[in-house]
Chain A
Amino acid sequence: QVTLRESGPALVIPTQTVTLTCTFSGFSLSTSGMCVNWIRQPPGKALEWLARVDWDDEKNYSPSLRTRLTISKDTSKNQVVLTMTNMDPVDTATYYCARTSNLIEVPPAFDFWGHGALVTVSS
């Protein structure tokens, strides 16, 4: 059974750096094709893909947030960590981690999601 769970601070002060952790089970990020992504959703708004890390440690970022994001994985702990610097009130959102699989000739899709972690940026 695949599960993912996000954790991190619920409240962040503007300009601070936030660290979010995705702890997963039911699959391994050392398995070829596995990827973990971060996606966010401001209250009442649409979903926005942020970053992903692959089984081979390849990383991709949203160009609009590239300078503020860092994604990393700890395969032994089954965790993926996202840090976002210089937080602003507009970054207030629910942050989700989700799995994708890079299967041959199958377009990737977010097949398993965590419940999400609401991060509020306010002084």
Chain B
Amino acid sequence: DIQMTQSPSSLSASVGDRVTITCRASQSITGYLSWYQQKAGKAPNLLIFAASTLQSGVPSRFSGSGSGTDFTLTISRLQPEDFATYYCQQSSSIPWTFGQGTKLEIK
């Protein structure tokens, strides 16, 4: 299985901050990387697929980059509704696997 490791596991930030979450794969997944946002008690929501393509309807303050084994999710200016848990996920090979999550909290 491909292991996905996110860092940090938790992060405190303020409204208006720029934040970056990283995700590392245990082997190359080329661009087969997606990012999801999950709010408490809700299903995950797709933000970015193919490492850097913004899903329809997702605000442009979210961006993704990377290829191979190292990827980042950046939120350019945090809004109150962005405080949530974020997951990366690879679809390069079965079994598809997720990172352990990054909880973004209000400072």
Contacts and interface: CB of A to CB of B under 8 A. Distances in A.
Given A47-B87, A107-B31, A107-B50, A113 B95 contact: no
Given A107-B31, A115-B43, 14 more contacts: A37-B96, A47-B36, A47-B44, A47-B98, A47-B101, A49-B89, A100-B91, A106-B49, A107-B32, A107-B34, A107-B50, A108-B91, A109-B34, A114-B43
A63 B46 contact: no
A110 B97 contact: no
Contact of A111 (B55, B94, B95, B100): B55
Contacts of A113: 43-45
Interface of A: 37, 46-49, 60-64, 96, 98, 100, 106-111, 113-116
Contacts, number: 63
A49 B43 contact: no
Contact of A46 (B49, B55, B96, B101): B101
Nearest to B98: A47
B43 A107 contact: no
Contacts of A49: 89, 95-98
A78 B41 CA distance: 26
Contact of A47 (B49, B55, B89, B92): B89
A113 B89 CA distance: 15
